[in-house]
A = this chain, B = another copy of it.
Amino acid sequence: MPELSYREAVRDALSRAMRADEDVFVMGEDIAEMGGSMGVTQGMLAEFGADRVRNTPISEMGIVGAGIGAAMQGMRPVVEIMYEDFLTLSLEQIVNQAAKHRYMSGGQLKVPITIRTQGGAGWSPGAQHAQQLEAWLVHVPGLKVVFASTPADVRGLLWSSIYDDNPVIFFEHRTLYGLKEEVPDELEPIPLGQARVHREGTDVTVVATGRLVHESLAAAQEAETHGLSVEVVDPRTLQPLDERALVESVQKTNRCVVAHEAVTRMGFGAEVAAVVQYAAFDWLDAPIERVGARFTPIPFAPVMEEFVVPHANDVLAAILRTVGKDVDGG
């Protein structure tokens, strides 16, 4: 089994789809000669040429819209938005156009576009290059939303996204690109809408996405020293959401923590909390804890940035609160 980084896994999925299928092409800013601002598409220009690895001007609205038009004509474009903060510029096209054409036409059309983007704090990119905005897209009927946290997941989910007949907004986390994992030679598509249980446990369920999956796994490890068995579940697809997997886990553990890097207020964790409290009300032994960024823009100075976004210790503290313990012994 080859070892792939998260970055290579994305590239692998894109390349395989482009080899398999003339209708697939990628476009975005600086994705050709430079291979993308995160190096994801490096080498692809040489293999596929400038038509299919299409370098674009800085026109987030235009390139997403062009992808939509091409998708409506039967292509399967993958558009890269360099930083997810710039989704703000293309949201009209994503929300009013891609998500709604099929519906407004009474089912005459489909829009099989995939929009890849990345974000996250961690290297002091500052307030306009570090947001996590996946929650917005989950609020929009007609879109699918994916947020992958490992090399195998990102590869299998991206493939499925490309071949899904709906618009998929595909979130990657910047700090994960270097993460490595052994993956099978053959790409195994991962169906959209299936959560993954990363770690089984009996005392507390942690539902986590993106970077926080890894922080949660670290926290779960640490929780063992407190005698706690923690289950970590990554929904992977935020829309459609594998509600059953989350609920069943909580029905087993009776306690739930939701963790993501986005701001807690109105973050994806709110939806998880709302779903879980509803479906597992009689099972819950403690309030559902939410772990997310504090309610500030992302500050520049590393010491402040570190403070604003959540880490393993924040997840651990939340886990302990659900069992009535304080971090500092209690």
Q: Which residues of A contact B (CB under 8 A)?
A: 85-86, 88-89, 91-92, 95-96, 99-100, 103-104, 126-128, 131, 133, 135-136, 138-142, 239, 262-263, 265-271, 273-274, 277-279, 281, 284, 286-290, 295-297, 299-300
CB distance from A12 to the nearest CB of B (A): 31
CB distance from A254 to the nearest CB of B (A): 13
Main secondary structure of the interface of A (DSSP, over half): mixed
Q: Roughly how many angstroms separate A141 CA and B297 CA in the complex, as a whole number?
A: 6
Q: B277 and A266: CB pair below 8 A? A: no
CB distance from A90 to the nearest CB of B (A): 9
Q: Roughly how many angstroms separate A266 CA and B128 CA in the complex, as a whole number?
A: 23
Q: B278 and A270: CB pair below 8 A? A: no
Q: A299 and B91: CB pair below 8 A? A: no
Question: Chain B: which residue is nearest A300 at the CB level?
Answer: B104
Known: A104-B127, A135-B139, A277-B287. 10 other contacts (CB 8 A): A85-B96, A103-B127, A103-B296, A139-B265, A141-B263, A141-B296, A269-B274, A270-B271, A277-B277, A278-B289
Which 4 residue pairs across A and B have the least CB separation, nearest first? A139-B266, A273-B274, A88-B92, A281-B287
Contacts of A239 in B (CB 8 A): 265
Q: B290 and A278: CB pair below 8 A? A: yes
Q: A295 and B138: CB pair below 8 A? A: no
Q: Roughly how many angstroms separate A132 CA and B66 CA in the complex, as a whole number?
A: 26
Q: Roughly how many angstroms separate A88 CA and B277 CA in the complex, as a whole number?
A: 31
Q: B297 and A274: CB pair below 8 A? A: no
Q: B281 and A103: CB pair below 8 A? A: no
5 A-B pairs (CB sep. < 8 Å)? A104-B300, A141-B297, A265-B271, A266-B271, A269-B274
Q: Roughly how many angstroms separate A53 CA and B28 CA in the complex, as a whole number?
A: 40
CB distance from A159 to the nearest CB of B (A): 25
Q: Roughly how many angstroms separate A126 CA and B42 CA in the complex, as a whole number?
A: 43
Contacts of A126 in B (CB 8 A): 104
Q: B266 and A270: CB pair below 8 A? A: yes
